[in-house]
Structure 1
Amino acid sequence: MKNIIPKTAAIHGITGYGRSSISVVIPVLSSMGIQVCPLPSAVLSSHPGGFANYTFYELTNEMEQAIECWKKENIKFDCIYSGFLGSAKQIELVKRLIEYNDSNLIVIDPVMGDHGKLYKITDEDMINGMFSLIEKSYVITPNMTEACLLAGEDYDDKALDFQEVKHLLQKLSALGPANVVITGVETSNGSCGNFGYSRKDDSYWKVDYKHIPAQYPGTGDIFASALTGYIVKGLDLPSAVAKASRFVSLAVEKTYIAGTPVREGILLEDMLFELNNENNIGRGEMINE
């Protein structure tokens, strides 16, 4: 029987301070009419961005027990959405959750690094495990650092032309995911955007957004969450990317104008209504160069 309210299993960390991970996943998806079933991977006092002192406690054992309980209760999900993971073993647990579910709607945000640097917990075992996890996905949403890492390319913060972005998208798709969305791409024509590729019809598209001279923690979590919500609601991927990009752009711009501390993240609370704004229409620009 189809769920009246779609259910999404969300595997993310819990951050006590700063808008990231579960603290943004739940409000974004809930406001879009989707039930969020959290599977916490770790508990942090805050996200690491901008904080010299923070705690990190891994929840691998708790994850394993929760998945076994769900399996015994025959709890199934319309979507499985994985973000921050605390160890390579947790990757194996996410794969176990995927295997017993019927849904093919698997969203993987391969959280491993940003700005050309890997996070402290990203070791070789995690990187190797991530390859096997993204094989199973409907869509992956790496940033440029993660895209280069998975594609086996050297990271360079220079602007890229479309052929270089296309090369990255193709290499990532060859790893297994049906669709790839690379976020935060600076292009050689001076624009910034999110680029997508669908292997099914061999199509490419892009969504440009206004550049804001600030880097807010949790932005990728918010984008991936909004994207997941629009996909669960039945939008095609180019439309989902366009609407998620617009939402994040509006929220980032409002936060920048407000001048709040960068480490606190995006002012999400006052922007949630925009997720269901019927004027938020559009589709990614198809490109065939």
Structure 2
Amino acid sequence: MKNPVPRTAAIHDLSGFGRASLTVVIPILSCMGVQVCPLPTAVLSTHTGGFEDFSFRDLTATMEDIVAHWRQLDVDFDAIYSGFLGSPQQEAIVAGFIDTFSRPDQLVVVDPVMGDNGKPYKTMTPEIIRGMRSLIAKADVITPNFTEAAFLLDEPVPRTISPERIKSWMLRLSDKGPGKVIITSLPVPEKQKTSAVIACDREDGRFWKIDCHYIPAYYPGTGDAFASVIVGSLLQGDSLPIALDRAVQFVSTAIRTTFGYSYPARNGVILERVLPSLNAPVTASSYEIVE
């Protein structure tokens, strides 16, 4: 029996305070008409972006119990969506989960959360990064930022990159398995204080790009928000450039809305103010094709 609404297994950590991971994934996808079945990798008192002395509980063993119960219930998923993973063992669990719950026409999205601004996150190890290179082979879509794309390819992170080289990177990433590759936070050297999001689709060989204007603030959880809108949009039947456009517009609106307040950046974007925009009519206007 077909699910009355799309059902997604969301494999992310859960932070009690600060909008990131599952506290971002669940409201966004729910607002987009998707049932979210969380498979938490860890529970934290806060996310790690700007908070100290946070509590952390690893849920690797619990993940295995949840997966076993879902298998017993014969739960099926229209999409599988993974984010931050804290160990090679968790990567192996996710890989096994994808194999176990595979079904025709299923969407598998891997957001390979490993680092940013040229550096790995404190919890990342070479073993975890190697494991992520293997995990993306099981994905239909991956959404690394520029730093993570370099890690996946075992390349140094350059300060700038030519259009020809970034296209080569994307094709190399696609050759590892995923048919659609989306890279965020791409530096645009000819436009000061501007970054870009670029995507490619192996099926039609086209590349798409959207420029993102700079706002002088960093909000944790925006990568989770971006990838979540991509998942919801593709499940709604949108094309890759439309999904790209919707995700960029939503995150840009959330950042601009939050920046207008005197509000601690570490709390994340004020998601509640902008969630209704996800149900507005789709107006694609900012993407361009890259020749």
Q: Which residue number in structure 1 is paired with residue 172 of structure 2?
A: 171
Tell me the amino acid that sits aligned with residue 33 of structure 2: G
Q: Does structure 2 conserve the Cα–Cα contact (< 8 Å) formed by 1:209 and 1:246?
A: no
- Classify the secondary structure of the residue corresponding to 1:196: strand
What percent identity do the matched residue pairs reach?
45
**Alignment partners' CA distance in 2, 1:152 and 1:95:** 21
Tell me the amino acid that sits aligned with residue 178 of structure 1: G
Matches within 5 A, 1:34-45: 34-45=34-45
1:105 maps to 2:100 = no
Tell me the amino acid that sits aligned with residue 135 of structure 1: A
**Alignment partners' CA distance in 2, 1:77 and 1:267:** 29
Q: Does structure 2 conserve the Cα–Cα contact (< 8 Å) formed by 1:238 and 1:283?
A: no
TM-score, with structure 2 as normaliser: 0.95
**Alignment partners' CA distance in 2, 1:86 and 1:282:** 38
1:251 maps to 2:218 = no
**Alignment partners' CA distance in 1, 2:135 and 2:287:** 27
Q: Which residue number in structure 1 is paired with residue 197 of structure 2?
A: 194
- Segments of 5+ residues of structure 1 without an aligned counterpart are none
In the TM superposition, what is the alpha-carbon distance from 1:279 to its structure 2 partner? 5.0
- What are the Cα deviations for residues 232-264 of structure 1, in whole angstroms up to 9, with x where unaligned? 111111110111111100110111111311101
- Classify the secondary structure of the residue corresponding to 2:176: coil
- Classify the secondary structure of the residue corresponding to 2:139: coil
Q: Which residue number in structure 2 is paired with residue 223 of structure 1?
A: 226
1:125 maps to 2:127 = yes
Q: Which residue number in structure 2 is paired with residue 181 of structure 1?
A: 182
Tell me the amino acid that sits aligned with residue 204 of structure 2: D
**Alignment partners' CA distance in 2, 1:280 and 1:134:** 31
In the TM superposition, what is the alpha-carbon distance from 1:100 to its structure 2 partner? 1.9
Tell me the amino acid that sits aligned with residue 241 of structure 2: P
Say which of 206, 211, 215 aligns to 2:214.
211
**Alignment partners' CA distance in 1, 2:162 and 2:215:** 21
Q: Which residue number in structure 1 is paired with residue 284 of structure 2?
A: 281
Q: Which residue number in structure 2 is paired with residue 238 of structure 1?
A: 241
Counting matched residue pairs gives: 287
**Alignment partners' CA distance in 2, 1:271 and 1:183:** 21
**Alignment partners' CA distance in 1, 2:28 and 2:117:** 25
**Alignment partners' CA distance in 1, 2:94 and 2:282:** 36
Tell me the amino acid that sits aligned with residue 38 of structure 1: P
**Alignment partners' CA distance in 1, 2:175 and 2:188:** 23
- What are the Cα deviations for residues 146-193 of structure 1, in whole angstroms up to 9, with x where unaligned? 11111121113x233312321221221122111100011121221321
In the TM superposition, what is the alpha-carbon distance from 1:117 to its structure 2 partner? 1.4
Q: Which residue number in structure 2 is paired with residue 28 of structure 1?
A: 28
Tell me the amino acid that sits aligned with residue 16 of structure 1: G
Q: Does structure 2 conserve the Cα–Cα contact (< 8 Å) formed by 1:162 and 1:187?
A: no
In the TM superposition, what is the alpha-carbon distance from 1:125 to its structure 2 partner? 2.0
| RMSD (Å), alpha carbons | 1.3
Taking structure 1 as reference, are residues 118 and 67 closer, same or farther at Cα in structure 2, changes over 3 Å only?
same
**Alignment partners' CA distance in 2, 1:73 and 1:212:** 46
TM-score, with structure 1 as normaliser: 0.96
**Alignment partners' CA distance in 2, 1:243 and 1:287:** 18
In the TM superposition, what is the alpha-carbon distance from 1:53 to its structure 2 partner? 1.8
- Classify the secondary structure of the residue corresponding to 1:45: strand
**Alignment partners' CA distance in 2, 1:279 and 1:128:** 38
- What are the Cα deviations for residues 179-237 of structure 1, in whole angstroms up to 9, with x where unaligned? 10001112122132110011111111101222111111001000001111001111111
**Alignment partners' CA distance in 2, 1:196 and 1:167:** 12
**Alignment partners' CA distance in 2, 1:140 and 1:279:** 23
Matches within 5 A, 1:67-82: 67-82=67-82
- Segments of 5+ residues of structure 2 without an aligned counterpart are none
